[in-house]
Amino acid sequence: MDRPKKKVVLRAVNSMSSLSTSVKENGGKGMRAVNSLTSISELDDSDLLALLVDRPRVKLERKNSYDEKFFSELSLYDGWETPTFSISDSFDPHPMVSKAWEALFRSQVYFRGQPVGTIAAYDHASEEVLNYDQVFVRDFVPSALAFLMNGEPDIVKNFLLKTLQIQGHEKKIDWFKLGDGAMPASFKVLHNPIKKTDSVIADFGESAIGRVAPVDSGFWWIILLRAYTKSTGDHSLAERPECQKGMRLILSLCLSEGFDTFPTLLCADGCSMIDRRMGVYGYPIEIQALFFMALQSARSMLKEDAEGKEFMDKIQKRLHAMSFHMRSYFWLDFQQLNDIYRYKTEEYSHTAVNKFNVIPDSIPDWVFDFMPLQGGYFVGNVSPARMDFRWFALGNCIAILSSLATPEQSMAIMDLIEARWDELVGDMPLKICYPALESHEWRIVTGCDPKNTRWSYHNGGSWPVLLWLLTAASIKTGRPQIARRAIDLAEARLLKDGWPEYYDGKSGRFIGKQARKFQTWSIAGYLVAKMMMEDPTHVGMISMEEEKHMKPVLNRSFSWC
């Protein structure tokens, strides 16, 4: 298990105003006050000198949003592994914070009197419920982080155990049986008022649009288990035999040997947050980044017994191969774009420079104007003769948090967000992908999907839930001004608009045409972003540091050679 290298005696010097609202609906607990401002104290000169000498030396070009004081204070610590202190400014909580907590507690789902998750949306105005009254694994993650940061871990523990129990259910679509390690996309609690019993029905993809199993559910489960462990200090849950087995079953699906020549994970379209046909089949950046993060999380929690050691060896080899592959072949900056533009094709043998035979004429015109001189990002997909140049927010933010991106690449991603703020953030954070598919390309790629029209939903829509990921990435890279600017935009409209699921339009000005109101992860994403800004060490739940043996020597301008 990871342990902090230094312990510092801390003393609280201020606290956030207590939020007075007490929520009683459905047996929900009232929210406790959060102490969000502390400072370093009671250090003698030798201790302070040791901290200053040992702290990491980060060589980064300063940008407009780079907060030197913010980053230097965080750099006093070798890692983000355990929350220790806050460096936030002293300010009263925004009035919409208490409203957000009310809505979040109201969304809780109970099984036999115990909270086990939150429903996707609590929209009474909607005529069709569809599956928005279910607990989705990926949707619950920001809710879980909010509860953990607020000192209420029970609902997270209950959720982890309930989904683990569901994992053991038989999983069949028509006559085909899914792998034992598959986690559900969602589950629903059915209450029988006559018999006074509760039961659970789960969806492993058999009811989803397109009937695709959720590849990301298992990864989010492992990541959330680590977040619970880091937040509570309770290792007993992860060490339970059923949790150890659950992790091994998930990893077995991903680490099995086959015909793959790449360390990345081959996936179908619609297997993650983008759960409709959007041309992300193959090796989508979102799945690769989550896979990488889940492998690191599992490595820190698996026991080194006979079964665990076998998986640890596989994990270590895969992490090393993935870090090289992703940093080399998925990374795009100005120099790399220029190199691809000049590629020769039809190269054979191991000396080939254009290893995936990407045709330069396939580079879309928009990329040349979109790419700034300073900045870069991980492209959406790379496979034989195909490179998806679209920007995907979740995959790039997770790449930063998991340290799949090098420190230099992480800073370049934030440079890109800042340089292309109008395109990627606009009036409401954050574009799920950029740019939108239009006209003939939209018809071919989406199959004329009426929900994924241009600049709507998954096709360039703006999703408030992504605010927490942008905030975490901003804090980790020492660029808190980016997060503050995005939070200000969200606070101007989210509550007034009724916490929509997503926004439409090129700049995200309009509430989505089919967006549900009181979308739980929009609410939770805002709360998590606020709490991380008030106490940046909360990022330790979801952030990981790069290890020395995973740092291959790469030259950015020749990273494909």
pLDDT tens digits, one per residue of 75-116: 433 444 433 333 344 346 888 999 999 999 999 999 999 999
More confident residue, 84 or 182: 182
- Mean pLDDT throughout 415-429? 98
Whether pLDDT at 487 is above 80: yes
Phi and psi at 405, nearest 5°, equal -80, 140
Phi, psi for residue 560 in degrees, rounded to 5: -100, 0
Q: What is the pLDDT of residue 30?
A: 40
- 406 and 546 Cβ atoms separated by less than 8 Å: yes
Q: Examine the pLDDT at 387 and tell me if it is beyond 90.
A: yes
| In the predicted structure, residue 317 carries a pLDDT above the cut 80 | yes
For residue 345, give the 3-state DSSP assignment: coil
Average pLDDT over residues 44-68: 44
Q: How confident is the model at residue 70 (pLDDT cuts 50, 70, 90)?
A: low
Residue 391's pLDDT band (boundaries 50, 70, 90)?
Answer: very high
Q: How much is the pTM?
A: 0.84
Could you give the C-alpha distances from 106 to 27, 205, 407, in angstroms and in order? 9, 27, 40
Instruction: For the chain, report the end-to-end CA distance as a whole number of angstroms.
Output: 37
- The helix (H) or strand (E) run that includes residue 333 is strand 331-333
pLDDT at 12 over 60: no
Nearest to 85 by CA among 150, 2, 13, 142: 13
Closest CA to 551 of 412, 405, 415, 411: 405
Per-residue confidence (pLDDT) for residue 347, from 0 to 100: 85
The radius of gyration of the chain's CA atoms, rounded to the nearest angstrom, is 23
Residue 86: the pLDDT is 38
Rounded Cα distance, 218 and 205, in Å: 13
Give the C-alpha separation, 439 to 454, whole Å: 8
Class of domain 121-541: mainly alpha
What amino acid occupies position 468? W
Model confidence pLDDT, tens digit, residues 124-174? 666 667 889 999 999 999 999 999 999 999 999 999 999 999 999 888 888
Distance CA 199, CA 191 (A): 7
Residues 6+ apart with CB under 8 A from 307: 244, 248
CA 499 → CA 105, 205, 390, distances in Å? Answer: 14, 27, 27
Neighbours of 92 (CB within 10 A): 8
pLDDT bucket at 350, cuts 50 / 70 / 90: confident
Beta bridge partners of 10: 40
Q: For a pLDDT cut of 90, what percent of the chain falls above it?
A: 71
- Predicted confidence (pLDDT) at residue 41 exceeds the cutoff of 70: no
DSSP secondary structure code for residue 329 in this structure: I
Percentage of the chain beyond pLDDT 70 is: 80
The residue extents of the domains of the chain are 121-541
DSSP 465-510: GGHHHHHHHHHHTT-HHHHHHHHHHHHTTTTTTT--S-EESTTS-E
**What's the burial of 289, exposed, middle or buried (CB within 10 Å: 0-12/13-18/19+)?**
buried
DSSP 386: E
Q: Residue 80 corresponds to which tokens in the numbers above? A: 């983000």
> Distance between CA 325 and CA 554 in Å, rounded?
11
Largest Cα–Cα separation, the chain? 72
DSSP 47: H
